[in-house]
Structure 1
Amino acid sequence: MFNVGIITASDKGYIGERKDESGKLIDEIVTNNGYAVKKYVILPDEEEALFNEMVHMSDDLNIDLILTTGGTGFSERDVTPEATRKAVDRLAPGISEAMRYYSLSITKRAMLSRGVSGIRNKTLIVNLPGSPKAVKESLEYIIDSIHHGIEILKGKTGECARK
């Protein structure tokens, strides 16, 4: 079983002005897919705070998968991709590209997502969109493949080809 850290980037959620439906939905989806949520936090849209939490979850808590929600749009306060790029050692662009590709079949506005994915040490970090609907669509689309990716990252398997 892999463990998960969830980070919601939301100024309003952080101060209690908005209920965090997206983070709770991530928790539900990953739990139903056999993952254990080790930490779940709501942070303001501040690059340093997001970066520091990603580093803490990866380096100190040894979390296998960090899923973020929010902060991936065009707003001046949307800085989750910047924090993620700063935290990762290697990018994994195919994950974010796949989410955008799939989402474009649902809405043209998916092209406005700036979310990124990458690897820090043995931790996979994936930026999900902020809306519950987009979180559900995106995470359910990628969950099987990212599970296999984590297995490879952790040395539990080495084969990507399906038989």
Structure 2
Amino acid sequence: MSTAIPIGIVTASDRAKTGVYEDRSGPAIIDYLVSALATPWRAEYRLVADDQSLISAALVALADKDQCPLILITGGTGPGPRDVTPEATTTVCNRILPGFGEAMRMASLREVPTAILSRQLAGTRGSSLIVNLPGKPQAIRTCLDAVMAAIPYCIDLIGGPRLETNSEIIQTFRPGP
């Protein structure tokens, strides 16, 4: 019997945290993963304010304590003064993987010219892959579509559990022997 793999879902938003509006971004990530992942998984959801130390603490806890091989964080990737998700991510990662941000921006640029303002990135902390996503639900789907095929193999390479995708939604790429 297999155990569900924990996947970290973090929304960084002052307004959602204080109840000004409902978090729609975290649930958008969960909806995406429900359709895209074939491997049994469970969400480890966190909602934090746009504060670098709080974001860093959530990422560290999900990676180190909860052992999430994949942590997807939405929000705080723009150029505004409270947008500190990339700084928090960089602080806690052992390695930054620039290709993720490049691919997500290129995919987003096909839809909106403001994609060049996005500072999303990805990196690893031990055997966890942390991926920054934009805050808008439609942009989340665009960005995950751009990188999801590589995520399972990246997790393989850093020593995480094997994730399989639903091939009708995303074809995982793993190089041959």
Q: So what's the TM-score if we normalise by structure 1? A: 0.92
Letter of the 2:51 counterpart: E
Deviation by residue 1:106-131 (Cα, 9 ceiling, x = unmatched): 11111000111100000000000011
Greater per-residue helix proportion: 1
3-state secondary structure, aligned to 2:120? coil
Deviation by residue 1:89-143 (Cα, 9 ceiling, x = unmatched): 1001111111011111111111000111100000000000011110111112211
Match of 2:148 in 1: 143
User: 1:162 Cα shift?
Assistant: 5.2
User: 1:52 Cα shift?
Assistant: 0.5
3-state secondary structure, aligned to 2:150? helix
Matched, 1:31 2:31: no
In structure 1, how many angstroms separate the alpha carbons of the residues matched to 2:161 and 2:46?
28
Q: Please say which of residues 34-43 and 63-72 is displaced more in the overlay.
A: 34-43
User: 1:30 Cα shift?
Assistant: 1.2
- Does structure 2 retain, via aligned residues, the 8 Å contact 1:27–1:37? no
Match of 1:52 in 2: 57
In structure 2, how many angstroms separate the alpha carbons of the residues matched to 1:28 and 1:38?
11
Q: Post-superposition, which runs of at least 4 consecutive aligned residues in structure 1 deviate over 3 A?
A: 159-163
Match of 1:92 in 2: 97
3-state secondary structure, aligned to 1:115? coil
In structure 1, how many angstroms separate the alpha carbons of the residues matched to 2:145 and 2:24?
16
RMSD: 1.9
User: 1:37 Cα shift?
Assistant: 3.0
Match of 1:19 in 2: 22
Count of residues in correspondence between the two structures = 162
- Does structure 1 retain, via aligned residues, the 8 Å contact 2:69–2:161? no
Query: Any stretches of 5+ residues in structure 2 without a counterpart?
Result: 163-172
Matched, 1:161 2:171: no
Q: So what's the TM-score if we normalise by structure 2? A: 0.85
In structure 1, how many angstroms separate the alpha carbons of the residues matched to 2:38 and 2:6?
9
In structure 2, how many angstroms separate the alpha carbons of the residues matched to 1:49 and 1:148?
29
Select 1:62's aligned residue among 56, 67, 77. Answer: 67
Specify whether residues 156 and 44 from structure 1 end up closer, same or farther in structure 2 by C-alpha distance, changes over 3 A only: closer
